[in-house]
Amino acid sequence: MADTSDRTAELKAFDDTNGLVDAGLTKIPRIFHSRSKPSVYQREGSDGEAEFNIPIIDLQGIIHGDSALRTEVIEKVRHACEKWGFFQVVNHGIAVNVLDGIIRGIREFHEQDSELKKEFYTRNISGKKVYYQSNYDLYQSSSADWRDSFGCSFFPNPPKPEELPSLCSCKEIVIEYSKNVMELGLTLFEILSEALGLNPNQLKDMNCAEGLILKGPYYPACPEPELALGISKHTDDSFITILLQDQVGRR
Cα–Cα distance, 25 to 14 (Å, whole number): 10
Region of 24 (left: φ > 0; alpha: ψ -120 to 50; beta: rest) is left
- Whether the upstream peptide bond of residue 29 has omega within 30° of 0, thus cis, is no
| Domain presence at residue 116 | yes
Query: Is the model's pLDDT at 178 over the cut of 50?
Result: yes
Cα–Cα distance, 160 to 232 (Å, whole number): 33
pTM beyond 0.75: yes
- Give how many domains the chain has, as a whole number: 1
pLDDT of the residue at 100: 96
| Domain presence at residue 40 | no
Domain that holds residue 239: 95-176+201-251
Measured between alpha carbons, how far is residue 10 from residues 28, 147, 210, 231 in Å?
12, 17, 40, 20
Cα–Cα distance, 95 to 177 (Å, whole number): 10
pLDDT of the residue at 150: 94
Mean pLDDT of 134-150: 91
Pick from 38, 46, 35: nearest CA to 250: 38
- Per-residue model confidence as pLDDT tens digits over 179-210: 999 999 999 999 999 999 999 999 999 998 88
| Domain presence at residue 84 | no
pLDDT of the residue at 41: 43
Measured between alpha carbons, how far is residue 63 from residues 22, 58, 59, 93, 196 in Å?
43, 10, 6, 7, 20
Pick from 220, 192, 214, 228: nearest CA to 74: 192
CATH number, position 219: 2.60.120.330
| Domain presence at residue 240 | yes
Backbone angles phi, psi at 24, to 5 degrees: 65, 40
| Domain presence at residue 227 | yes
- Per-residue model confidence as pLDDT tens digits over 76-115: 999 998 888 889 999 999 999 999 999 999 999 999 888 8
